[in-house]
Amino acid sequence: MATKIHVTAVVDKSARLGDGVIVGPHSVIEPDVTIGEDCELMTGVVVRRYTTLGSGNLVHPFAVLGGEPQDYKFDPAEKTYLRIGSDNIFREGVTISRATAAGAATVIGSGCYFMTQSHVGHDSVVGNRVVLTNSAAVAGHCRIADGVILSAFAVVHQFCWIGELVMMQGFAGISQHVPPFVMLRGINYVAGLNNVGLRRADYIGDDDRRQIKEAYRLLYRSGLKPTEALTEMDARDDWGAPACRFRDFVRRALEAEPPHNRGLPTARAAQRANQKDR
């Protein structure tokens, strides 16, 4: 299938466009850009220098991919990258920044959906099948695992890690590391497990869900300190891969060094219940 470029679009001669790419009116593709086959850029899309897109991406009007990092320290002369996978949807006004340090990259996986006005900051890594709802924002140097959903206006502080299948409710905010499979509400408040997401995940079986619930109970319902809960988790030698990933995430968060030593969010509802019992 032939590439189609609207007469009003501006495409640098050094840009590499795959078969079937469609570039809409008034879109701009800068030098050193690679766009995979069957991508469509609608009206007014800007793809900045050093950006790579895989195949089958759909970019709605006025999105800007690969813009310079929003960082006072960034030197525009640095050669840094944005690397995007395949089959993603970027809705109107989405912005994703390239990295800051020379040779580094912001990375977006495949099968993601970035809704209107959502943002991913420099040097962040976003996994597969991630959803950022309207105006959700991820700061720089974050790690967002597969299957995460950030609801409208949810925000993630810089240097934070979000585990797989986490769901952040609308207007939620996090400045700590969020273990896999949980729901986040308010500011740094774990509200429980993402049970709907766990049931829908075809790679997580009944035994996995039981083990994940046990891991969650040890961390958030047992009254143990996180280090003590981790010791109890280590004693479970029959856990499958999903529960082990929960345990490994907790370990990594507790052992993280600056600037990643952000700790874990608390389950405030459980804290209030414990205080009431006293």
Contact 165, 198 (CB under 8 A): yes
From 44, 67, 109, 123, the catalytic residue: 123
Quickly tell me which residue has 């050093």 as its tokens: 50
237 CB contacts (<8 Å, ≥6 apart)?
none
206 part of the active site: no
Contact assessment for residue 96 and residue 69, using Cβ atoms and an 8 Å cutoff: no
Token output for 54: 């895989």
> 65's torsion region: left (phi>0), alpha (psi -120 to 50) or beta?
beta
For every residue of 167-183, DSSP letters joined together read EEPTT-EESS-B-TTEE
Interatomic CA distance for residues 37 and 84, integer angstroms:
13
d(CA 244, CA 236): 9
Q: Among this protein's residues, is 123 annotated catalytic? A: yes
Other C-beta atoms closer than 10 Å to the C-beta of 275 total 8
- 109, 121, 140, 163: which one is catalytic? 140
Catalytic position from the list 60, 119, 122, 141: 122
Which residues are part of the catalytic machinery? 122-123, 140
